[in-house]
A and B are shown apart, each in its own frame.
Chain A
């Protein structure tokens, strides 16, 4: 397997691995998933997560699992998501409850945006966010993104934030 690792100041971004699933099963069993495709049982959580992971094989990009560099603790997933219902590849993020509020998603997202520009040659990435998800909308804007009220999301009412990758991040 090709080594695909991105390092930031505090984080290592690498391909997803089987052990990551426990965090996703917990996430989809919790209220925290309400804005992220909804709560689902463990069996459906597997299908959803394994399908996201498959992007690496099908298209050569996808979500990165994230560990802290100092202790190797899993803190979440940031990367490219593109389920069948999305109009284009999306920059998405997920942070475990214990790792929230430390700026990890922002740090990892900047690395992914840079990678998408440098390695994939992309000029743009979007976020598709539930309008009630204030924290994610704020992060999208903090990363330099701009809300496009005319852009299509997944379902009507979704907030779509557009990132122009050409300026560097």
Chain B
């Protein structure tokens, strides 16, 4: 099938980060239908899940950047997504991440993917910083943001309810 977009692909030690594709639909709809999606507007039915995942994908064409699908190098299996989410109602792109299943947690995959994406945003796109909005009840994501070196910034109620903003800066360029 004709590719109409020329999209970047990132590689880490264990992961391939690529633009979302049809093969990622099933694992992402499974994630969005599960309790794991509580901080992503879920759990939701297949209709809403399809729209949410597809909107992640469609953002690439509209803005030129978006969330990457994160796949294991060994199996090419999609285990999550990571990258700047930027719907209309966000004033700026938001560095977001997720793992589709609990079996992928605790292995450092999210950190590995996020570090690669952040480096890409700062180096290839030249961004000077990027925000993450994290629900105050989402302990795992808050810990990861801190581990990535993000600075706790402020409450972000005006953008996403119950969320605080954390800001990532290029290595060595911290605030």
Contact = CB atoms under 8 A, between A and B. Distances in A.
A53 B5 contact: no
Contact of B51 (A1, A21, A51, A60): A51
The listed residue with most A CB atoms (<10 A of its CB), out of B2, B21, B56, B62, is: B62
Contacts of B19: 57
B89 A43 contact: yes
Nearest to A48: B51
B161 interface: no
A104 to B, nearest CB: 23
Nearest to A17: B62
Contacts of B49: 84
Interface residues of B, number: 31
Contacts of B1: 59-60
A85 interface: yes
Interface of A: 1-2, 4, 15-18, 21, 25, 42-43, 45-60, 83-85, 119
A46 B88 contact: yes
B91 interface: no
B61 A15 contact: yes
A58 B4 contact: no
Contacts of A4: 4
Interface in B55-72: 55-63
Contacts of A57: 4-5, 7, 19-21, 57-58, 60-61
B129 interface: no
Contacts of A2: 2-6
Contacts of A119: 2
A50 B4 contact: no
Given A46-B89, A54-B61, A60 B2 contact: yes
Given A54-B56, A55-B54, A57-B21, 11 more contacts: A18-B62, A18-B63, A42-B89, A46-B55, A47-B52, A48-B51, A50-B62, A51-B50, A51-B51, A60-B1, A84-B49
7 contacts: A2-B5, A15-B4, A47-B87, A51-B55, A52-B54, A54-B57, A84-B50
A58 B57 contact: yes
A55 B48 CA distance: 16
Contact of A56 (B5, B20, B52, B56): B5
Interface in B1-23: 1-7, 19-22
B154 interface: no
A22 to B, nearest CB: 9
Given A2-B4, A56-B5, A60-B1, A47 B51 contact: yes
Interface in B82-105: 87-89
B46 interface: yes
B109 to A, nearest CB: 24
